[in-house]
Amino acid sequence: NIGENRPSIRQLDDAAINRIAAGEVVERPASAVKELVENAIDAGARRITVDYADGGKTLIRVTDDGCGISGADLPLALSRHATSKIDGSDLLNIHTFGFRGEALPSLGAVGRLSIASRPEGEDGAQISVNGGQMGAVKPAALNGGTVVTLRDLFFATPARLKFLRTDRAEAQAIGDVVKRLAMAEPFVQFVLRDVSGEGAGREVFRAGAEQGDMFAALHGRLAGVLGREFAENALAIDAQREGLHLTGYAALPTYSRGSAVAQYLFVNGRPVRDKLLVGALRGAYFDFLSRDRHPAAALFIGCDPTLVDVNVHPAKSEVRFRDPGLARGLIVSALRHALAEAGHRASTTVAG
């Protein structure tokens, strides 16, 4: 009789549920950094500092000067599906990086997380959660903003810990995440430090807050992140079609690369890895590059949030456009136009 051996259905407890969710949201230290920096940006921070030790495996600390969290709200911030960013009534109209209220409880389930925060005009407070065990809210001394400290990521899920790569590789991935987010927020200062071992730590990356209009600020930030050479060889892109606005910089074909490393795509400020958009970028350069060369570009598509679904992927790195052909067409035509114009300018300069 099969029925006798049938296992009964059980409701999992919160700690188990959070560990399962963490498996999707937090793949490695860099994904934790991404979630924490996005929270700082959502909080309106103007300065964000990321410290890590041992490739982020033992320590990740994100300090911001954003709006802060009230002491009374700290336990909620650590609760699953609790968010200040949406009210749940319109999942197609999202203006923030976060909206699912999953990052902090997930990180608290698989590591040792503590949050100290102080909104303007309030006292500072802190809370800790270790492997899903939440402590009490206590007073904390800090000037303002929020400090989130994550120690021993994945200590509660040893299987995941085993899959991490070398400290060097994990640190590299953290750097990539911070630089990508820094490209999307040129008016915000970013500092990244490796604080492994003794001493004050080593600054890995710094981008001061840029000034001026959006294009000037973006150009300055791209020079800082991708290098002067990219900035000097980049064409400004600014085109619009049926509610989609494409901006950014695309490099001249002569600055192309042997691999697709220098392709950065953003949708409503969110870094994405999207086959459709990468394909459009390739298509735009098709007549200008040989097959083994790859274009370099940092492109930003802005649109009404209702024209794109960001709730497709746990790490939110994929998006779905309501009209994919429109996004593709806009990229291809805007870049071809800019490249053709630059080519024309170059040939007339040589001739003249």
Q: Which residue is nearest to ligand ADP (CB)?
A: 98
Distance of CA 259 to the CA centre of its chain: 22
What Å distances lie between residue 77 and 51, 117, 128, 143, 155, CA to CA?
Answer: 22, 11, 11, 20, 21
Residues 6+ apart with CB under 8 A from 141: 124
**Of the two residues 47 and 241, which places its CB atom closer to ligand ADP in the complex?**
47
**Of the two residues 39 and 196, which places its CB atom closer to Mg ion in the complex?**
39
Find the binder of ligand ADP among 85, 151, 245, 322 (CB under 6 A): 85
* Measured distance CA(42)–CA(27) in Å, rounded: 21
CB of 67 to ligand ADP, least distance (A): 5
Per partner kind, with CB cut-offs from 5 to 8 A, the member of ligand ADP, Mg ion, none near residue 125 is none
CB of 99 to ligand ADP, least distance (A): 5
**Of the two residues 148 and 231, which places its CB atom closer to ligand ADP in the complex?**
148
CB of 218 to ligand ADP, least distance (A): 24
Residue numbers of the site for Mg ion (CB under 5 A)? 39, 98, 103
Running DSSP on this structure, what letter comes out for residue 208? P
Question: Per CB under 6 A, which of residues 49..78 are in contact with ligand ADP?
Answer: 64, 66-69, 77
* Measured distance CA(104)–CA(163) in Å, rounded: 22
132 sits near ligand ADP (criterion: CB under 6 A) = no
185 sits near ligand ADP (criterion: CB under 6 A) = no
231 sits near ligand ADP (criterion: CB under 6 A) = no
113 sits near ligand ADP (criterion: CB under 6 A) = no
Residue type, 316: K
Nearest to 187 by CA among 157, 216, 227: 216
CB of 104 to ligand ADP, least distance (A): 4
Whether the CB-CB separation of 205 and 175 falls below 8 Å is answered with: yes
Q: Which residue is nearest to Mg ion (CB)?
A: 98
Backbone φ and ψ of 268, nearest 5°: 50, 45
Map tokens 């459709």 to a residue. 276
Pick the piece of the chain touching ligand ADP (CB under 6 A) from 79-87, 183-191, 255-263, 300-308. Answer: 79-87
**Of the two residues 98 and 119, which places its CB atom closer to Mg ion in the complex?**
98
**Of the two residues 42 and 51, which places its CB atom closer to Mg ion in the complex?**
42
**In what helix (H) or strand (E) does residue 151 lie, and over which residues does it extend?**
strand 145-151
**Of the two residues 63 and 256, which places its CB atom closer to ligand ADP in the complex?**
63
Nearest to 96 by CA among 224, 227, 269: 269
* Measured distance CA(29)–CA(341) in Å, rounded: 43
Whether the CB-CB separation of 224 and 194 falls below 8 Å is answered with: no
* Measured distance CA(78)–CA(131) in Å, rounded: 12
Pick the piece of the chain touching ligand ADP (CB under 6 A) from 82-90, 278-286, 291-299, 331-339. Answer: 82-90
108 sits near ligand ADP (criterion: CB under 6 A) = no
**Of the two residues 113 and 225, which places its CB atom closer to ligand ADP in the complex?**
113
**Of the two residues 147 and 280, which places its CB atom closer to ligand ADP in the complex?**
147
What Å distances lie between residue 251 and 77, 246, 290, 302, 324, CA to CA?
Answer: 42, 15, 15, 20, 24
CB of 102 to Mg ion, least distance (A): 8
Nearest to 193 by CA among 160, 216, 171, 222: 171
Per partner kind, with CB cut-offs from 5 to 8 A, the member of Mg ion, ligand ADP, none near residue 68 is ligand ADP
Question: Which residues contact ligand ADP (rule: CB under 6 A)?
Answer: 35, 39-40, 43, 64, 66-69, 77, 83-85, 98-104, 146
